[in-house]
Structure 1
Amino acid sequence: MTNSRLIVLALLLVSGQALSTEFNIDKARETLKDYGLANCISSQFKDESDIKSDIGLAIGAYSSMGKGQHLIIQNEDTLEVTHDPYAETEKYMRNAYAKTSSVSKHSDKKMVFYGCLEVYNSREFDTFIQSQDQYLPK
């Protein structure tokens, strides 16, 4: 193989790794966002139901014990959690949802799915999710 072909091959491998890393970051962000959406919806309903149970399973799948890629940071000596991206995402969603005005003109109840999607699709939530990138494995 000529030197120019080796260089091209090496560049392709390096670019493939860069694309692979970017894909993992995007997937990790998507999973954390989905975790937040599932929590937002589930936390608004107090009574058990088949839907709430199903959403609970999704929360587990999106968490650090499932497909979630974000790391929960602990103090090595005390094992105290110093940062939990999942708990922070729940907190963010809870606070942002409380600020949404998603009342239907047909009811005085807040539309949960609508309100949670409003937060989920916001630029502010995307910015928050990106702020959690520092807790992804290197």
Structure 2
Amino acid sequence: MKFQLLIAIGILGLSANAISSEADLNSARTSLKNYGLANCISNQFKSASDIKSDLGLAIGAYSVMGKGEHAILQNEDTLEVTHDPYLETEKFVTEAYTKTSSISKQSGKNIVFYSCLEIYNSPAFDAFIKSQDQYLQN
């Protein structure tokens, strides 16, 4: 009986670790996606404003210097960056934005927030974010 109890406790412990790992993985992915969304919006506005400043703070919070959970890889000898998930995310949203832009029928101007949300919610962005899992810190 004690042996069965020990096995059950061990299995429950492993299950809890798997759930925790899945939650951590989802948290890291969401953080990188949010970093991309903030960059997507911020990069479309060139002049200083309260909103652009706030987006800059969000970008910092989601970056590796903030709560970001992805590692920037460097060559140990030269310190040259070999992979930066944050830079790659910014490149992805910048390129996607040129293909996703939406023009308002009323104003004739691009709808930045709409376009960036389309990117944020796209299967392509989800796939890109998952491709960065290999760069998670741990």
TM tier, smaller? over 0.9
- 1:98 matches 2:87: no
Alpha-carbon separation, structure 1, partners of 2:44 and 2:82: 27
Match of 1:54 in 2: 54
Q: Which residue of 1 aligns with 2:134?
A: 134
| Aligned amino acid, residue 132 of structure 1 | Q
Residue 114, structure 1, aligned to residue 114, structure 2: yes
1:84-114: CA deviations, max 9, x gaps?
Answer: 0000000000000110141000122110000
Q: Distance in 1 between matches of 2:101 and 2:43?
A: 17
Paired residue secondary structure (2:24): helix
- Separation (CA, whole Å) in 2 of partners of 1:4 and 1:90: 51
Indicate the RMSD between aligned Cα atoms, in angstroms.
Answer: 0.9
Partner of 2:124: 124
3-state secondary structure, aligned to 1:82: strand
The two structures have a TM-score, normalised by structure 1, of 0.97
Matches of 1:70 and 1:14, distance apart in 2: 24
Give the total of aligned pairs. Answer: 138
Instruction: Please tell me the residue identity of whatever aligns with 2:71.
Output: L
TM-score, normalization by structure 2? 0.97
SS in structure 1 opposite 2:66?
coil
2:25 corresponds to: 25
The list of structure 1 runs, each at least 4 consecutive aligned residues, that deviate by more than 2 angstroms after superposition, is: none
Instruction: Report the Cα offset of residue 137 of structure 1.
Output: 2.5
Q: Which residue of 2 aligns with 1:65?
A: 65
Q: Which amino acid aligns with 1:79?
A: L
How far apart, in 2, do the equivalents of 1:95 and 1:13 lie?
A: 43
Question: Alpha-carbon deviation of 1:77?
Answer: 0.2
Q: 1:99 is paired with a residue of what secondary structure? A: helix
Change (3 A) 1:101 1:42: closer
